[in-house]
Amino acid sequence: MKLESAIPEGPVEGKWDKHRFEMKLVNPANKRKFRVLVVGSGLAGGSAAATLAELGYEVLCFCFQDSARRAHSIAAQGGINAAKNYQNDGDSVYRLFYDTVKGGDFRSREANVYRLAQVSANIIDQCVAQGVPFAREYGGQLANRSFGGAQVSRTFYARGQTGQQLLLGCYAGLSRQVGLGNVKMFPRTELLDVVVVDGLARGIVTRDLVSGKVESFAGDAVVLATGGYSNVFYLSTNAKGCNVTAAWRAHKRGAGFANPCYTQIHPTCIPQSGDHQSKLTLMSESLRNDGRVWVPKEPGDTRKPRDIPEDQRDYYLERKYPSFGNLAPRDIASRSAKEACDAGLGVGPGGRGVFLDFRDAIQRLGKNAIEQRYGNLFEMYQRITDDDPYEVPMRIYPAPHYSMGGLWVDYNLMSTVPGLHVIGEANFSDHGANRLGASALMQGLADGYFILPYTIGHYFATHKPGPVDTDHAEFKRVEKEVEERMQRFVSIGGKRTPDSFHRELGRLMWNNVGMARTKESLEEALREIPRIRDEFWSDVRVVGGRSEMNNALEQAGRVADFLEFAETMALDALTRDESCGGHFREEHQSEEGEAVRNDADFCHAAVWEYTGEGNAPMEHREPLDFPNVPLATRSYK
């Protein structure tokens, strides 16, 4: 496996312009001769599919939900960043770039991050033109808020439903292309494998989730926009269907997997209420703009929160990080919450929770203003917990939320398999070891609207993939493998449901490969994962057949892939013998408990190559350098 990042020469400010000029173009009349298979209809996939179709390519778009509009992006709440500097508070492309590199704890690729910051402004223009109803001031101008890890207000939002509104904008553009016949949409269709012919990605094998039919699609390029893998923890803020299957299958066909150990644990989620819990609900980070995080100073303080006087509360983020306070980046806020709870200061059932208190903001701004800003979030909280956050502080606890790791891509967003492009949360390049709030929506739309549509043309013009169809022997071979795998699931006839294995894996990953990791916990995980996997393959029970709608079968396939992926993730975490961003190795912390990086040995992206069943994956390294934002210890004090 060769890692050629294809970063253009020259100063960072000029790279993208230069590259756009140097890339080969496809003649407009020839574009319709190229067929692109876009897997995923979230912000990344939806924007790419619509834009590629506008440009004239033939596009097929796939998603497992019953409509493109239901992709997991819909759930994003807080907002999207852009370097517009509308607030005149000193923002710029360079500052967004700088904040993102620093926020990522110097483990991202500078050139990609700079480009992301550059196109961020275009995204907002594009969305407004589509009719995305962003929040406005009375004068009619766009409103902004600030988000964790930044000292400027550059976050655009639509109430607490920013992801929904951006995705509906995207879906509208996609629908228009569907109506025009330029995109063919395949909902309720799951990718189960990728087909590589003569070294180029030429197609996919899918299962129709309604009829159970396994089918192949051939094309000139494949785009994976299949989201993140946080559900490896079972309990996460992600939608239930989010999975690693597409990325993992592509990995097994030759795509390098970069930094799988980089996962983000979000600080503000509603704590688990019992063993029945099926997912965790995020409370948008924007709440930290007005909410203050605290725990009682004394362990075991069971008084009602309102009865605990000011001097007996520890506003620990404000105390430890005076300049960022409650807006400290996510990894820091999450770990601080865990520390407080580990020290016995946690609140609520099981002591796994901290307060997020709006009392002062309500006093200062009035209940109305708070309702305007967060009304729907408060409602959601009350619905789930039965507590009224206007009256009692919210209880929050960290939960797995986002995966910074993903399939390795070069500057053109192409994986190590030529023709296989990866965009959105599914790739790895922009967020390093920690993603800043409101930057995932930005990245998904940057990739799909403004980057991939250019770079894919360059691929066609330089690689000239010839004709291929699904009768090709390789398609038949992969299809057969997929069929056999489905058959194997329904034939095992064991005693346990796929869900029970997923829960077991999730518990192990959360305890051993979660917020704080040690050599011992990771080695234990590496012993346990294969045990669970073996048990899965001998004792899982998938009721029902494969030629029909069968949720259990779908789930079994996803759990089987998580069980393989988890091992590479734990191995990556063990190999990365340093702490950085969301990857916290307890062995490597300062006296104050902050992550300590080891730049001499680990300033690289770790890219894993699949080497066959039963073999350990092989590690490759893409060195990262930071000529513009000099390596420094992150400080949010």
Partner 1 sequence: MKLTLRIWRQKGPDVAGDLETHELPDVSPDMSFLEMLDVLNEQLQNEGKEPVAFDHDCREGICGMCSLVIDGVPHGPMKATTTCQLHMRTFHDGDTITIEPFRAKAFPVIKDLCIDRGAFDRISASGGFVSVNTGGAPDANAVPIGKEDADAAMDAAACIGCGACVAACPNASAMLYVSAKVGHLAHLPQGQPERGRRARSMVETMDAEGFGNCRNYYECEAVCPKEISHHFIGGMNRDFLKANLCGGE
- Give the catalytic positions in this structure: 330
Options 30, 122, 598, 628; binder of partner 1; rule CB under 8 A: 122
Cβ atoms 15, 114 nearer than 8 A: yes
Binding site partner of 124, from ligand FAD, partner 1, none, Cβ cut-off 5-8 A by kind = partner 1
Member of 42, 305, 465, 506 binding ligand FAD (CB under 6 A): 42
The residue from 526, 549, 596, 631 that contacts partner 1 (CB under 8 A) is 549
User: Residue 623 belongs to what H/E stretch?
Assistant: strand 618-623
Task: Confirm or reject binding of residue 87 to partner 1 (CB under 8 A).
Answer: no
Task: Look at residue 62 and give the partner it binds from partner 1, ligand FAD, none, a contact being a CB closer than 5 to 8 Å depending on partner kind.
Answer: ligand FAD
Binding to ligand FAD in span 348-407, by CB under 6 A: 401-402
395 strand-pairing partners: 355
Q: Which does 137 bind (CB under 5 to 8 A by kind): partner 1, ligand FAD, none?
A: partner 1
Residue 497 in the binding site for partner 1 (CB under 8 A):
yes
In angstroms, the CA 258 to CA 69 distance is 29
**Binding segment for partner 1 among 166-174, 307-315, 583-591, 597-605 (CB under 8 A)?**
166-174
**Eight-state DSSP code of residue 64:** S
- Return the one option of partner 1, ligand FAD, none that residue 149 interacts with (CB less than 5 to 8 A, by type): none
Q: Which segment (39-47, 124-132, 339-347, 619-627) binds ligand FAD by CB under 6 A? A: 39-47
> Encoding tokens for residue 444?
């998904």
81 vs 120: CA distance, rounded Å = 7
- Residue 279 touching partner 1 (CB under 8 A): yes
- The single-letter code of the amino acid at 96 is L
* Shorter beta-carbon distance to partner 1: residue 3 or 63: 63
What residues between 38 and 57 interact with partner 1 by CB under 8 A? 47, 50-51, 54
Q: How far is the CB of 590 from ligand FAD (least distance, A)?
A: 29
Residue 28 makes contact with partner 1 by CB under 8 A:
no
Q: How far is the CB of 489 from partner 1 (least distance, A)?
A: 13
Span from 91-99, 221-229, 370-378, 480-488 in contact with ligand FAD (CB under 6 A): 221-229
Return the one option of ligand FAD, partner 1, none that residue 416 interacts with (CB less than 5 to 8 A, by type): none
Of 256, 247, 257, which Cα lies nearest the Cα of 193?
247
Please report which helix (H) or strand (E) contains residue 257, including its range: strand 257-258
- SS3 assignment, position 121: helix
CB of 627 to partner 1, least distance (A): 30
What tokens were used for 576?
Answer: 């990365």
263-269 β-sheet, strand order: 263-269, 394-403, 354-357, 292-296, 313-314
Per CB under 6 A, the list member of 424, 453, 498, 514 interacting with ligand FAD is 424
Q: Are 186 and 66 in contact (CB under 8 A)?
A: no
Token reading at 435: 């993603």
Task: Tell whether residue 71 is a contact of ligand FAD (CB under 6 A).
Answer: yes
* Beta pairing, strands 35-39 & 58-62: parallel
For residue 163 the two structure tokens come to 């992801």
With beta carbons less than 8 A apart as the criterion, state whether 103 and 435 touch. yes
Site for partner 1 contains 462 (CB under 8 A): no
Residue 101: strand, helix, or coil: helix
Shortest distance, CB of residue 610 to partner 1, whole angstroms? 29
CA distances from 403 to 236, 260, 431, 583 (A): 11, 8, 9, 11
| Sheet architecture: strand order including 618-623 | 406-407, 257-258, 604-609, 618-623
Burial (Cβ within 10 Å: 0-12, 13-18, ≥19) of residue 143: middle
3-state SS class at 373: helix
Nearest distance from C-beta of residue 157 to partner 1, angstroms:
11
Three-state SS string over 268-300 comes to: EECCCCCCCCCCCCECCHHHHHCCEEEEECCCC
Nearest approach, Cβ of residue 129 and ligand FAD (Å): 20
575 binds partner 1 (CB under 8 A): no
Q: Which of 41, 182, 429, 568 binds ligand FAD (CB under 6 A)?
A: 41
Interaction of residue 129 with partner 1, rule CB under 8 A: yes
Among 75, 121, 128, 549, binds ligand FAD (CB under 6 A): 75
* Residues near ligand FAD (CB under 6 A): 39-45, 62-65, 71-73, 75-80, 162-163, 190-191, 225-227, 237-238, 242-243, 245-246, 282, 401-402, 424-426, 438-441, 444
